[in-house]
Amino acid sequence: MYNLRYHIASLVGVFLALALGLILGGLVVQSGTVDRQQDALVAGLQQEFTDLRDANRKLTSENEILAVYAGEMTDDWIATRLSGRNVAVIISAGRSDGMRDSTEAIEEAGGTAVVITLPEDGLDLTDAELASIVTSITGDARASTAAVAETLRAEWATPGAPRPLTDALAAAGALKLESLPADDAVYGVVNLAAPDAQPDAAAIAITRAFSDAGAPALGGQTTSRDTGVARASAAAGVSAIDTLGSPVGRYSLVALLTGAAPGYFGTGDGAAGLIPPPPTP
């Protein structure tokens, strides 16, 4: 006997089967499309990686060539420019960031580096006995940092001049001066002093005293450590570089010590440029 409910159920079953087939077929097609898209994506990424690797190798090779070129050109340019001249290099006890780079650049240029070491806590003149001695030598009743800096500059920059303040500070352990004969003098100064990674105020003042007197002076720091000396020097109106430890730093140091236009040069905020223009012969 014809059963309408059975017929309807059969029709529903057929349509459900058709719908299920369409869904499954679509999933298979879609799965194949996704697989193809994934394969294309992987292939694209592999090609991009290969291109980047090749570009990186090329840049590495070019950088190596430029480094060799910059080093050799710097060596040739700085040679003998400081011949026969003493340059003071001020550092903090226990911290010598940039000292080797500075002294080597000075010596490669034919000069002599005179290392001056200040205590880890800077030039402390709070001791009453020392302050009294400083006052008697400088004539400044306050034993101010500026007066001390100017007196030290005069003692170091004048050949054959007595050095009573230098001797007094050295005796008190407030300063250490190396390799400067009594009949010799300092031509210029490089300040690196930064106790506790902070610029030393006395060293900044000494550098400024040289600069104000028309002598070559600058504050420096390395490319790998920001001691704040470059910014503090520039703020005090003294030349500065933050590229010690590189050919750029060697060139900049010698250029500023031999007549290049003063300013702050390097990569830090406020720098006038990467390097100073070559000094006029």
- The model's pLDDT over 156-175, given as tens digits with 9 standing for 90+, comes to 999 999 999 999 999 999 99
Q: Is the pTM of this model over 0.85?
A: no
- Once rounded to an integer, what is the mean pLDDT over residues 248-261? 96
- CA 229, 115, 172 angle in degrees (round to 5)? 95
Domain boundaries, the chain: 1-78, 83-265
Q: What is the pLDDT of residue 2?
A: 46
Distance, CA of 271 to chain centre: 12
Summary mean pLDDT of the chain:
87
Q: Does 12 score more than 80 pLDDT?
A: no
Q: What is the pLDDT of residue 3?
A: 54
CATH entry, 83-265, from 3.30.1360.200, 3.50.50.60, 3.40.50.12780, 3.40.50.2300:
3.40.50.2300
Q: Does 270 score more than 70 pLDDT?
A: yes
- The model's pLDDT over 100-138, given as tens digits with 9 standing for 90+, comes to 999 999 999 999 999 999 997 778 888 888 899 999 999
Q: Does 31 score more than 60 pLDDT?
A: no
Distance CA 107, CA 82 (A): 8
**Cα separation values, 2 from 6, 12, 15, Å:** 8, 17, 20
